[in-house]
Amino acid sequence: ERHRIFITRQIPEEGIEMLRRVADVEVNPVDAPMDRAELLARIADCHGVVGLLTDRIDAEFFDAAPVLKGYANYAVGFDNIDVAEATRRGLPVSNTPGVLTNATAECAWALLFAAARRVVESDGVMRSGQWTGWGPLQFIGGDVSGKTLGIVGAGRIGTAMALMGRGFNMKVLYTSSSGRRNAVLESELNARLVDFDTLLAESDFISIHTPLTPATRHLFDAASFSRMKPTAYIVNTARGPVIKEDDLVAALKAGTIAGAGLDVYENEPSMAPGLAELDNVVVLPHVGSATRSSRTDMATLAARNLIAMLEGRRPETCLNPEIYD
């Protein structure tokens, strides 16, 4: 009997094709996050599931899928998965690291420049026909070259983001939750491992690349913003709840910090009240990995991971490899 696989939303065809070669595959026909009850009903007879960061993969999910052999997340972030629960049940779960590193780091730079140089705000002035001609005091923004870049969470994406900035000769600071030093950043950029307070106080730009964990939830709140420079900008391409969004709105309104570039939100797809009305924030709809090659490579990596799980092999990017010991 062939294995049955459910994919909770349409992903690039290359990954679906790989799975169809080894199993019967069904894809959620609706291009929207899945309703919980429907998801739980659809996985009742499935051996494998490919899901999204919008799907909660927890005890209830596993209970609803009694013949499940594994779950492949179509995302690098895995705060939507209760990994400990999967491990307790001996079920492998995987994510898609590596294939979206450059895309997400590039998105962080897009947000950094858009916020610093007021790209979206000035684009709006052009489109609405309000521009009156060149003026010495119009749309003055922040300098980037030679300034200090603070990386919160110098993993794959944070490291790539900092390395991409080489041409801007920035001073680079980073924090590390494990306290582990980043040899690449230190040797390539003379980056300095600092504590969080130093990073807040000295950075002109802070870019968030930490996963969402209990320790990083609301890491940026009113107290953190008050310790930043009033000329500083914050960029978040990681997970929304790392920032307490109401406090960010207040800080942007009060001029506690200069601006923000956001790709992720505390309660997606909503934004905190007031955020969308501010000129000093650039808001993207969670598109960090949205490049042609990244989205395709995420699909084929998720497919390879799930195929390995169905065949009883350890997947390439397993979140609980210890279950194979």
Binding site for ligand GLV (CB under 6 A): 53, 75-77, 97, 100-101, 155-158, 209, 288-289
Residue whose CB is less far from ligand GLV, 101 or 256: 101
Please identify which of the residues 3, 42, 118, 286 carries the catalytic annotation. 286
Helix/strand/coil for 233: strand
Alpha-carbon distance of 243 to 195, in angstroms, equals: 18
CB 280 within 8 A of CB 115: yes
Residue closer to ligand GLV by CB (options 107, 310) is 107
Closest CA to 110 of 294, 284, 292: 284
CB of 96 to ligand GLV, least distance (A): 6
Q: How far is the CB of 15 from ligand GLV (least distance, A)?
A: 14
Q: Which residue's CB is nearer to ligand GLV, number 43 or number 75?
A: 75
Q: Which residues, at least 6 apart from 323, have a Cβ–Cβ distance to it below 8 Å?
A: 87, 90, 91, 92
- For the bound state, the minimum distance from the C-beta of residue 273 to ligand GLV, rounded and expressed in Å, comes to 24
Report the residue number, 48 or 158, with the smaller CB distance to ligand GLV: 158
Residue 155 DSSP label: S
Instruction: Identify the CA nearest to 262 among candidates 19, 189, 270.
Output: 270
Between 16 and 298, CB nearer to ligand GLV = 298
Determine contact, residues 64/45, Cβ cutoff 8 Å: no
Are the beta carbons of 316 and 305 closer than 8 angstroms? yes
Per-residue burial over 5-35, b = 16 or more CB atoms within 10 Å of its CB, e = otherwise: bbbbbebbeebbebbeebbebebbeeeebbe
- Shortest reach from residue 222's CB to ligand GLV, in Å: 26
8-state DSSP, 198: H
CA distance 268 to 284: 11
Active site residue 268: yes
Closest approach of ligand GLV to the CB of residue 158, in Å: 5
Nearest approach, Cβ of residue 65 and ligand GLV (Å): 22
Nearest by Cα to 233 from 203, 259, 267, 254? 259
Residue at shortest CB range from ligand GLV: 155
Spatial contact of 267 and 294, defined as CB atoms under 8 Å apart: no
Q: Is 311 a catalytic residue?
A: no
The active-site residue out of 239, 245, 266, 304 is: 239
- Name the residue nearer to ligand GLV (CB basis): 4 or 209: 209
Residue numbers annotated as active site: 239, 268, 286
